[in-house]
Structure 1
Amino acid sequence: IFLARLGRALRGFFHPAAGSDLLWDIRKVAKTRPMLAHIADAGHRAMVERVIDAFEEHAAPVIPGLRAQIVHNDMNSYNVVMDAARPEVVSGILDFGDMIHSPLICDLAIGAVYRWPAEGHPLAPAARFVAGYQSVQPLEIEELGILFHLIRARLALIANIASWQAGRFPAKRDYVLRLITEVWTSLERLDGLSPADARRYFLDHSKPE
């Protein structure tokens, strides 16, 4: 819900730097292909390459037609402040340094990534997050149609960039790889889903309560 409210608050805002070329832009995940060489495990490397291939085939052609605005672009758990007295309430949002002009659905996909799948359907936590978002900001059918590809693309970005940074900056290895176990687990679980099944799951399970 808080991410949807932030999106509404940012609607109409613009800044010349919002068009900057940012490495963490989901739309440009294909540009990180050279970083695949830094992923040591061949199976993981092939999995990330499949994600990028699918993104280019199914999501990239759709993205230019989607509604866009300036978005936060890094809504992970480290950038959210919770109310100490009411831990279920978000009291603040941090780190606006990655803000860009991008499709609104990309911002939602980033937030959904960090709802790590545990038991049950691998998209269940993300679908609950999307349902909360839609209670404030309903999504268009085209946006839901590529959400699965966007989520996987963000995971691929994390895997590629973190692996590259770990090799380039050994002193920061532990920090840049702090989420890599969750990333690989998520990618592996999502790898077993077809885009059609994922789309249907979001359509059926992300309706606002």
Structure 2
Amino acid sequence: MSETLLKRHYGLTASIANLCSEVERTVEVNLPDGRRLILKTSTRPEALDSFRFQTGAIAGLQGAAGFVAPTVLRTSTGALMFEQEGVCGYLQTRIEGIPLHQAMHSPDLLFRTGRALARLDLALAQVNVLAAHRPVLWHVGCWSRLLELEQYLPRGGIADSVRAAMVGYMEFVEPQISSLVWQVTHNDPSPFNMIVTGQAVGFIDFGDGCWSPRIQDLAIAASHVVTDPTLALGGAEHLIAGYASVIPLSRLEARLLVRLMRARQSALILVNCWRSHLFPAEAQYIKKNVARAERGLSILTPLDVTSGEAAVVAAASSALP
């Protein structure tokens, strides 16, 4: 079917290789001239709005500097995406490089990653996509209900840490979140979705992108690099410093960031434990980030509001690593 869709909508003949994905079908397209592209398709009704967001956001990033993003290839009729007999999809270029999760997380690389993420957010702030307000499972607005999934958590201390983090979010962060700057965000800059290239850090997989607090992108990215228990923020200091060198953090953002990081780690654990229960055959892929989130949460748990804010302020005001 992928070969047929490529020929019909793009006039291309290519070989196809399946790639891992959860909701949409993602394949690598290998053209005879050596180029590699990515084709995303879906038969789910909600994919229409998702693909409208993804293609609109990616197209809106073209020409922006400081990061790398894919390019959406237009169909033979000039559209950003296609619809055909219950199937919708789009074709994009592939970013060549090393996924961040496979790279050595040096202070310099994390600093550059933070800078690139801030540049991405500045560019996304100029993007106007109506589908940004569609329902998204990973939207911060869902977090107050995620404790309904705690029955799927493994037994042990991590369940207590997750519960404490989510209660802290509901009692401390949620009442203040409307005062933050909101815009179109990537909403999933994980180490699997950030690519280290020869030019700059690249960003892929905009499927969870939506209208949310701008600082959410930093909280998500930083939450994934909390690995060193000898540092207050586990090594996320360097990424935060890079981001703040482009977009200075407000007092409220600095105060809420650690709680947002802990809530995101907990949301990731809750949602992926639940989804792996629903789809056991895909459990290994679905839970690829869970161990990292559990380790990061254990490092951040001792920080209270005051010490967390102090650590973020110190990181944001630090010089180049």
TM-score by structure 1 length?
A: 0.92
Cα distance in 2 for residues equivalent to 1:81 and 1:189 = 25
Structure 2 match to 1:194: 304
Question: Which residue of structure 2 aligns with residue 98 of structure 1?
Answer: 208
- Out of 246, 249, 253, the position equivalent to 1:139 is 249
CA distance in 2, matches of 1:182, 1:122: 17
Output one character per residue of 1:43-70: Cα deviation in whole Å (capped at 9) or x when no partner.
Answer: 2222211111100111111110111110
* Residues 1:110 and 2:214 are matched in the alignment: no
Taking only the aligned residue pairs, the percentage that are identical comes to 28
Q: Which residue of 1 aligns with 2:103?
A: none
In the alignment, what sits opposite 1:130?
Answer: 240
Query: Counterparts of 1:188 and 1:124 in 2: how far apart (Å)?
Result: 10
CA contact (8 A) 2:226 2:299 kept: no
Please give the per-residue CA displacement for 1:137-183, whole angstroms capped at 9, x wherever unaligned. Answer: 11111111100110011101110011101111110111112222221
1:208: how far off?
Answer: 4.9
2:232 and 2:278 map into 1 onto residues whose CA distance is 32
Residue 204 of structure 1: aligned partner: 314
2: CA distance, partners of 1:163 / 1:122: 27
**Stretch of structure 1 that moved more, 111-120 or 142-151:** 111-120
Q: CA deviation at 1:123?
A: 0.2
* Pair 1:208–1:20, CA change in 2 (3 A): farther
CA contact (8 A) 1:132 1:208 kept: no
What's the RMSD between the two structures over aligned residues?
1.5
Residue type of the alignment partner of 2:168? A
- Shift of the 206–124 alpha-carbon distance from structure 1 to 2, 3 Å rule, reads farther
Match for residue 62 of structure 1?
176
Alpha-carbon offset, residue 186 of structure 1? 1.3
How many pairs align?
205
Q: Could you say which residue in structure 1 is the equivalent of 2:276?
A: 166
Higher helix fraction (1 or 2): 1
